[in-house]
Structure 1
Amino acid sequence: MLLLLAFIVVFLVIYGLIYLKQRKVPFSKRVVLALALGILLGLILNGFFSTEQGLLFSDWTGIIGSIYVKLLQMISIPLVLVCVLLAFTKIELKTNVVKMGATIILTLVTFAGIAGMIGLVTGQLSGIDGNGFTISKSALHAANDLKESYVSGGEHTLTLPQKIVAIFPSNPFYDLTGQRPSATLGVVIFALCLGFAYLKIKDRKVKEAQLFKDFLDSAYEIIMSVVRLFLSFAPYAVFTIMTTTVVNNDISAVLKLAQFFITCYATILLVFLLQVLVIAFCGISPVRYIKKAFPVLSFAFITASSAGSMAMNLEMQEELHIPKGVSSLSASFATSMGMCGCAGLYPGIIISIVAATQGINPLSPQFLLSAGLVIAMTSFGIAGTGGGGTVATIIALSTLGLPVGLVGIFIAIEPLVDMGRTVVNLNGGVMASAVTCKVNGIDLSEHHAPIHPEGQV
């Protein structure tokens, strides 16, 4: 009876959101309302459902959100391919593309190192005593298994040069399926090769080049039409995803590790504010940015998926007057390298806690800088291995010669922390776009019309 009542409530909420759409209520307001209703219903059901009821409810209610995320992931690779190619049809000089890509990568990797050092500081100031944790056999086993796979042996073990080589595709059509850990970067590299080839024939074979350009313009409009169709279902997906997430969360796990959890989110907030400050320096006012980005950031938070949020991210950056070529590259790279949350601040916090247990002062200038450099390098190399914050943390700890066992304890609440980490990962890509526009002299201020003439990046 309780399950039936819960399903009826879900149906009524979705019907209400559809009604609000028909009443022309703004998209952002419907997303926020869906988010709030999802949290409220999830908390209520969490207190009444048994484990079996929660799983059954989530299986059926989660269908909408799961399909929605899969649809966005389905369109993300074709979208990246077309957008990167489209960048070449809007510029005149090859050097602009090289400069643009280098700026994006440098911004992402550098800021990941900075986020890592912020994590080191907040981790130390939090006063978390790593010696106070009892490392269970299962936690130690989980951490050592990951270390064995990604650091000390196993098929995933790669040196940094090998990780760089692994980014390059041997079969671009296989990468278009998204099967490789670095498939997105592989698609970008393939698109870059096609783009440079277009520039080489642009003046010599005008007819063929124009045909290619017209095809890309048409493909982009069709793909974006599909994206907008998918995005119109966002409020219903947000509601169902948030409801099922809260229903099935082990709240006690969060309470047991509350100090670490609070430290992570305090650091996430600090890094996010710093990112917004950089974005503001590049010409986008914080108020305008938050207003445009909130639905996207909310979706990234709920799904904990940078790839799944890519389509919304690109749409939002276009509204901020960021050129398609810049936004497509930064959004693509930000899902695979320089991840400020997963490979930046999160490893920084844990490194600080572990270092203290070894009698090392995490805030000593030498250790702070060396750890920041390791985190920055790890944030780049992680693209060739796959995995999230835990893998990045274990690789960084091992590089610094620190024990990895403590990481296993935090795996229990990592899915909740990952929601916040994904927000700063995505936000880091937008920041890289803004910095790239600033370097290339593109005006992003509110009065600037969102028109990018031929020849401009």
Structure 2
Amino acid sequence: ITTTTTDWFGIVGNGYVALLQMIVMPLIFISIVAAFTKIQLGEKFAKIGFYIFVFLIGTVAIAATIGIISALVFGLDASSIDLGSAEQSRGTELAQKAKDMTASTLPQQILELLPRNPFLDFTGQRTTSTIAVVIFATFIGFAYLRVARKQPENGHIVKRAIEAIYSVIMSVVTFVLRLTPYGILAIMANTIATSDFGALWTLG
């Protein structure tokens, strides 16, 4: 009975997570490109574009730093939790990814950030897919600025297209976010049903 119930809850919970994963990469990409379309062209547009790129990469680095510091300061770890099978499986997966990253040299890790195949990165299959999409979107943004400066008519068409796509993506995001209460409820119910009760009790 429990298995059947969790399967049905999984449709809602896992479906909600899948929808979130569906919108993340398109949202990141179109938001960055749309930001470039709002830049007023001038003699220093390349410099401004460079600052935008640095800002985007910087915010990613700051977010990662805050996460690491928070974990260290508040002692956030799972060492005292009795893990169930689901937690152990996820922990093994994360440990393997960390091992793969540390096995590479710094130049290799930098190369991994580059979007060799943007379509693959849009699927989030690589550990560096998010940063790769940011870099790809930045290149598209610079390309738009170049077109807008040298071919204003085509630049205007591209801008209108980007704004239209942005509106559609934001509409999809709004729809998915409205499903949040139902998705969270299903995820919590599924987690409680499939996790080790002792681990949940330890968490309080």
TM-score of the superposition, structure 2-length normalised? 0.75
- Higher relative CO (CA 8 A, sep ≥ 6), structure 1 or 2? 2
Structure 2 distance, partners of 1:177, 1:112, is 21
Aligned mate of 1:86, from 34, 37, 42: 34
SS in 1 for 2:26: helix
Structure 1 residues 224 and 113: CA distance shift in structure 2, 3 A? closer
SS in 1 for 2:140: helix
Offset, 1:190: 1.4
SS in 2 for 1:229: helix
The aligned counterpart of 2:121 is 175
Aligned residue identity for 2:9: T
State the identity as a percent.
35
Give runs of ≥4 in structure 1 deviating > 3 Å: 103-123
Aligned pairs for 1:95-114 within 5 A: 95-110=47-62, 112-113=64-65
Aligned residue identity for 1:98: F
Structure 2 distance, partners of 1:118, 1:218, is 39
Consecutive unaligned residues in structure 2, runs of 5 or more = 81-87
Contact kept? 1:150, 1:158, Cα under 8 Å = no
Aligned pairs for 1:306-317 within 5 A: none
Aligned mate of 1:184, from 115, 130, 136: 130
SS in 1 for 2:138: helix
Consecutive unaligned residues in structure 1, runs of 5 or more = 1-52, 133-138, 263-457
The aligned counterpart of 2:6 is 58
Which structure has more helix as a fraction of its residues?
2
Contact kept? 2:33, 2:140, Cα under 8 Å = yes
Structure 2 distance, partners of 1:114, 1:64, is 32
Contact kept? 1:178, 1:184, Cα under 8 Å = yes
Structure 1 residues 91 and 232: CA distance shift in structure 2, 3 A? same
The aligned counterpart of 2:185 is 239
Structure 1 distance, partners of 2:67, 2:98, is 23
Whether 2:170 is the aligned partner of 1:224: answer yes
Structure 1 residues 115 and 158: CA distance shift in structure 2, 3 A? same
Contact kept? 1:81, 1:188, Cα under 8 Å = yes
Structure 1 residues 237 and 81: CA distance shift in structure 2, 3 A? same
Contact kept? 2:49, 2:142, Cα under 8 Å = no
Aligned residue identity for 1:186: A
